[in-house]
A = this chain, B = another copy of it.
Amino acid sequence: MIHPLPPGTRDVLPTEMRELRALSDRLRVSFEGAGYGEVWTPLVEYEETLRRGDDRAARAGVYRMFDDRGRVLVLRSDMTVSIARLVATRYGGVQPPVRLSYLAHSYRAVERGRGQAREFLQGGLELIGPAGAEGDAEVVSLVLAALEEAGLRRHRIGVGDGSLVRGLLGELEVPEERRGTLLEHLSRRDLVALEVDAEELGLSPGARDLLVAIPTLRGGLEVLDRAEGPVARSAEGLRALYDLLAASGAADRTIFDLGLVRELGYYTGAVFEVYDPAVGFALGGGGRYDELLGRFGTPLPACGIALDIQRVHAAQAAEERLG
């Protein structure tokens, strides 16, 4: 007798569960210790609410249904939009900064047949109030330190500028309907496809060179020196972040990556991805989203990172095998 589970979901048995709890608890202690109090938001939200935050985040929800009054409900695909709603609703009179963390499942659409999880446990934090490099550095340093306390040794953080590519696509007057493909080619670092895109869009040789150069701007501090034209502005912002990260001892773990494109649309500044050489996928990511809280009526700059607990666990296990 076979009792199938919905695609992208699975049972977790005691041995693995014990390890996931231990890892979650350790991250929670690190976050709490730095003043990030844990919150819970309902798993089910009105699609309208999520869409107010970010249309892509609302569309990323894989499970949606009607309530008894015909309104569309979605299982959250992400905690950040819900926390933005929570802060606007419940922290109206509170003087920023507000430091919040979470440890909860989210549900996201994935391509069928790729064996990806649709149900995944996230641990993350949101820093509301501090703007720019100062806020970014706090969040990045804390996540790197928490992962170190969890036993990771070789983890790195990729740092890009979420506003760079979007700004550039605007300046180059790339039509809205072509941007998705272009962003995908950028995130895949597919230089050949980008050359073709540039040709099809009739970009000037200078614009084409700029576009094709972006995905190659990946590495240490020297990457920022190589940045030219509109990219130089982003480099300047990232240099300020680097100085703060260096002061907290995190410089060695930082990889600048100006081609880093995050899938959600609400990022307005620095964007992040967390890596470990032991596993072949990002352990998490995030960025600065200075416009999201304003959409819920409380304009405040903010920044956050979410870790995929299952993937951090895989990295942790790999590190342990390496001794």
Contact = CB atoms under 8 A, between A and B. Distances in A.
Band of interface residues on A: 35 or more
Nearest to A65: B65
B67 A65 contact: no
Interface of A: 1-6, 9-15, 17-18, 21, 25, 28, 32, 37-46, 49, 52, 63-65, 67-68, 73, 75, 85-86, 88-90, 100, 105, 107, 112, 119, 296-297
A2 to B, nearest CB: 8
Contacts of A6: 42, 44-46, 67, 73
Contact of A17 (B12, B15, B38, B45): B38
Nearest to A28: B21
A317 to B, nearest CB: 17
A84 to B, nearest CB: 10
A43 B3 contact: no
Contacts of A1: 88, 296-297
Contacts of A11: 39-42, 86, 89-90
Contacts of A14: 37-39, 100
5 contacts: A6-B46, A6-B73, A12-B40, A43-B119, A63-B73
A304 to B, nearest CB: 16
